Amino acid sequence: MGDSVMTTPSIKKIFDTYQNPQVIFIGSKVSLDIFRSFPGDNQFIELKKNWYELLKISRKYKHIDLFLSYRSSWRSSLLKLLIQSSVKFQFQKNQYNNMHQVAKYFCFTTNALGLQDRNPGKLILYPKKNSKKNNSIVIGINPGAAYGSAKRWTLEGFMGLVRMLSGQNYKLILFGSKKEIDLSNQIEGYLKKIGYENYENLCGKTTIHDLKAQISVLNLFITGDSGPMHIAAAYEVPSICIFGPTKYKETSQWENSNSKILRTKLDCQPCMERVCPLGHHKCMKDISFLEVYSEAMKLVKKIY
């Protein structure tokens, strides 16, 4: 999800470069759902995890003018080999250094298109930001991360945070995928235990379209390095972004002026591992809920 959102300036550049292009999006269901609202008569193919599906796709589409892949995986390499197009480009993650991921994808795209433009502009999601106004402060909390447990802030941290936020009587909305229901249910259970009712648990209950709509109208979003974090960036939602093992300079929110990164500064960072290889998870455990709460209140006071 996050990578798909970070490619949106690149995808828009393709639409801007060619007049009414016929675009075929190939990818996972989640990634395709990010682009289904893009304008144009586009086609969408959900990619299955076997080579035979790649062969079927290559046989079905025999007149591709330009093939672009934003993945460097073996499946992407195989599809590039099989697809019948005289012009093919595949993103290589080590080709662009010291750049944000959005800029990497954009440079890859403009190089493929033979353009000199190196300014991605802002992230773009359709539909545009919901104009609905909240009557009170609504704070979204996204405790999960699809990449692995190392990217997740601690459950104890989130419980301490929601306890502090409950004292302000803000409405809290819990987000996450179906894989993170257990995590959000534990936080919901804690809210019930302390008698707080001004919350909504949407974990595992939203489509991508619904997720975009819900995040777009938040007053504040508190999250780890995740796909929903990039959706919040696209809608320029004020955000507290908790980083641990990943490269914050490459995958932080893109061009969100009200984004605050919280991280520790350990010698082992960034390890880029799914699970803490040292077993202590200090890059996340050393970020206290009081620190997150303090920064959240600073953003709320600054903006509202």
Query: What are the sequence ranges of the domains in the chain?
Result: 2-113, 138-303
Tokens 């800029």, residue? 103
Could you tell me how many helices (H) and strands (E) the chain has, helices first?
13, 10
Q: Would you identify the CATH topology of the domain 2-113?
A: Rossmann fold (3.40.50)
- CA-based end-to-end distance of the chain: 30
Residues 6+ apart with CB under 8 A from 95: 104, 108
Helix axes 155-166, 289-303, angle to 10 degrees: 40
- Same CATH topology for 2-113 and 138-303: the answer is yes
Q: The tokens of 93 are what?
A: 């993650």
Count Cα neighbours of 104 within 13 Å in the Cβ-side half-sphere.
Answer: 21
Reduced to 3 states (helix: H, G, I; strand: E, B; else coil), residue 191 is helix
- Do 297 and 139 meet the contact criterion of CB atoms below 8 Å apart? no
Tokens 């590039």, residue? 80
What tens-digit pLDDT sequence spans the chain (304 residues)?
A: 999 999 999 999 999 999 889 999 999 999 999 999 999 889 999 988 778 888 888 888 888 999 999 999 998 999 999 999 989 999 998 888 899 999 999 999 999 999 999 999 999 999 887 666 677 899 999 998 877 788 999 999 999 999 999 999 999 999 999 999 999 999 999 999 999 999 999 999 999 999 999 999 999 999 999 999 999 999 999 999 999 999 999 999 999 999 999 999 999 999 999 999 999 999 999 999 999 999 999 999 999 8
Residue 242 region by backbone torsions, left for phi larger than 0, else alpha for psi between -120 and 50, else beta:
beta
Q: The tokens of 11 are what?
A: 């995808």
Q: How far is the C-alpha of 152 from the C-alpha of 167, rounded, in Å?
A: 24
Q: Would you identify the CATH topology of the domain 138-303?
A: Rossmann fold (3.40.50)
Selection from 14, 30, 157, 150 nearest residue 87 by Cα: 14
Selection from 287, 286, 284, 259 nearest residue 273 by Cα: 284
The phi, psi pair for 28, rounded to 5°, reads: -70, 165
CA–CA distances in Å: residue 266 to residues 7, 227, 278: 30, 24, 12
- Do 239 and 259 meet the contact criterion of CB atoms below 8 Å apart? yes
